[in-house]
């Protein structure tokens, strides 16, 4: 009976609370589990996501991981002890992209690494992606896309297969403009705690926008 009352109480709270309040009720393990499921899917889809072997590509991994280390050592990184913030590099010179899914799983395309003009620009991109994980934007999008019912089931540890299925769909989720703006703002704050130029965030994205306009 106590569990039933607790369930209804939580349901009422979630219905009448803001999204941020709901987010605070979701344990960080949800982010980590989602990231783990996504990482599993990436590893199982090497034809679509050809991840470079870290042992055979130590130089580029050391380069990117050093930038990652500088960023997560910022005092403003809340979840460095909770999220792994692992880095994987995807072999695709034609894709100018990087992303960081829930739980701090970072993926960078070789096309992006070769495209940036400076280490500060790459640091700016990685800081932006880390900010998405730090602000739990993926879980926020799940709340908006699937509703609070799914979040309730995740809180109580039921329907774990739904969590796996959702993990497979993370790439199709798109962050809102508000989330992107927030990620930019936090990225600049992270960069101020590093040797990198905070203007690297804006510099890269301005260049990318010009590139997209030329290709249209």
Q: How far apart are CA 140 and CA 148, in angstroms?
A: 10
Give me the pLDDT at residue 149, please. 61
Give me the pLDDT at residue 168, please. 57
pLDDT at 8 over 50: no
34: confidence class by pLDDT, cuts 50, 70, 90: confident
Name which residue leads in pLDDT, 61 or 202.
Answer: 61
Q: What percent of the chain clears pLDDT 90, i.e. is strictly above it?
A: 50
Say which residues have a Cβ less than 8 Å from residue 13's Cβ, sequence separation at least 6: 21, 25
Mean pLDDT computed over 115-125? 93
Name which residue leads in pLDDT, 210 or 162.
Answer: 210
Write b or e for each residue in 83-102: b if 16 or more Cβ atoms lie within 10 A of its Cβ, otherwise e.
bebbbbbbeeeeebebbbbb
Phi/psi at 92 (5° precision): -165, 100
pLDDT at 72 over 50: yes
Q: How far apart are CA 158 and CA 161, in angstroms?
A: 8
Q: Do the Cβ atoms of 130 and 137 come closer than 8 Å?
A: no
Closest CA to 23 of 79, 71, 74: 79
Ranking 35-39, 120-124, 164-168, 174-178 by mean pLDDT, the lowest is 164-168
Name which residue leads in pLDDT, 130 or 166.
Answer: 130
DSSP 8-state symbol, 157: T
Bridge partners, residue 106, by sequence:
87, 100
Mean pLDDT score across all residues of the chain: 81
Decide: helix, strand or coil at residue 136.
coil
DSSP 8-state symbol, 89: E
Question: Residues 125-140: pLDDT tens digits?
Answer: 999 999 999 999 988 8
Sheet containing 105-109: which strands, arranged edge to edge? 86-90, 105-109, 98-101
Q: How far apart are CA 138 and CA 144, in angstroms?
A: 10
pLDDT at 101 over 70: yes
Name which residue leads in pLDDT, 145 or 108.
Answer: 108
pTM of the entire structure? 0.82
Decide: helix, strand or coil at residue 86.
strand
Closest CA to 182 of 112, 100, 127: 127
């Amino acid at each position: 009976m106590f569990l039933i009352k607790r369930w209804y109480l939580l349901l009422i709270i979630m219905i009448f609370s803001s999204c941020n309040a709901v987010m605070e009720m979701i344990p960080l393990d949800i982010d980590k589990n989602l990231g783990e499921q996504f990482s599993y899917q990436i590893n199982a889809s090497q034809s679509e996501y050809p991840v470079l072997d870290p042992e055979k590509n130590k130089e580029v991994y050391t380069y990117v991981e050093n930038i990652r280390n500088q960023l997560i050592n910022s005092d403003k990184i809340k979840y460095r002890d909770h999220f792994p913030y692992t880095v994987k590099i995807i072999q695709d010179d034609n894709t100018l992209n990087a992303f960081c899914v829930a739980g701090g799983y970072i993926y960078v395309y070789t096309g992006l690494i070769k495209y940036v003009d400076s280490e500060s620009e790459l640091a700016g991109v990685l800081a932006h992606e880390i900010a998405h994980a730090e602000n739990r934007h993926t879980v926020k999008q799940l709340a908006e896309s699937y509703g609070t019912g799914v979040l309730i089931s995740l809180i109580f540890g039921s329907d774990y297969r739904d969590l796996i299925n959702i993990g497979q769909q993370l790439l199709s989720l798109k962050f809102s403009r508000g989330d992107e703006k927030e990620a930019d703002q936090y990225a600049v704050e992270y960069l101020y705690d590093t040797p990198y130029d905070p203007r690297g965030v804006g510099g890269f994205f301005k260049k990318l926008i010009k590139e997209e306009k030329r290709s249209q």
